[in-house]
Amino acid sequence: MKPYLIIIALVAFLSSCSKTAEKQEPVNVQQLNQTFIGAWNSRNSAQLDTLLAEDVHFVQGEVHFNGKSEVSQKWVRETLGSIENLRISPVATGVDDSIAFEGGTFTVDVIPTDRQLPRGEGEGNFVLIWKKNDKGAWKLFYAQLEDHPVQVR
């Protein structure tokens, strides 16, 4: 009878270890977004590129860019110099093992193309969706911005 008890105890121990090993801490989506915002506000396009998924989507009104190369060039690089001081106010957040999202409102300072014109302030709504890639790294998969007309400061 003792060998069976030892086997049962060993199986129970090993199964509890495997369940513990499978459990992962949930991702902190607020931290992911703050990393993105920090890179944006410091105008670090190289870091922003590392945060984008290969199959990332960017949507703003009628504009829709697909893929890391297009999103990086047409959204990040073409607008990085025209806005600064990006700030978000999250309203909704959700996380599971492979997807994390946050949505809410954003504000930015808008830099005019002509330095003699006044600066502006932009605001609107945002949704950022992150997904875990096959290497276990969290990457920005979807960004949607719905902005209001820029207001002169």
The answer for residues whose C-beta is within 8 angstroms of residue 83's C-beta and 6 or more apart is 108, 109, 110, 111, 122
Q: In which residue are the tokens 């609107």 written?
A: 124
- Cα(first)–Cα(last) distance of the chain, in Å? 82
Q: What are 80-106's pLDDT values in tens digits?
A: 989 999 999 999 999 999 999 999 999
* Residue 27: Cβ-neighbour burial (10 angstroms; 0-12, 13-18, 19+): middle
Task: Determine how many CB atoms are found less than 10 A away from the CB of residue 21.
Answer: 8
DSSP 73: I
CA angle 103, 109, 115 (to 5 degrees): 155
**What confidence tens digit (pLDDT) does each residue in 101-123 have?**
999 999 999 998 888 888 899 99
Element (H, E) at 119: none
Dihedral (C-alpha) 132, 49, 82, 62: value to the nearest 10 degrees? -50
Give me the pLDDT at residue 24, please: 66
The tokens describing 86, both together, are 């990006």
Q: Is the pLDDT of residue 14 over 90?
A: no
Q: What is the DSSP letter of 75?
A: I
- State the pTM of this model: 0.80
CATH top class, domain 26-152: alpha beta
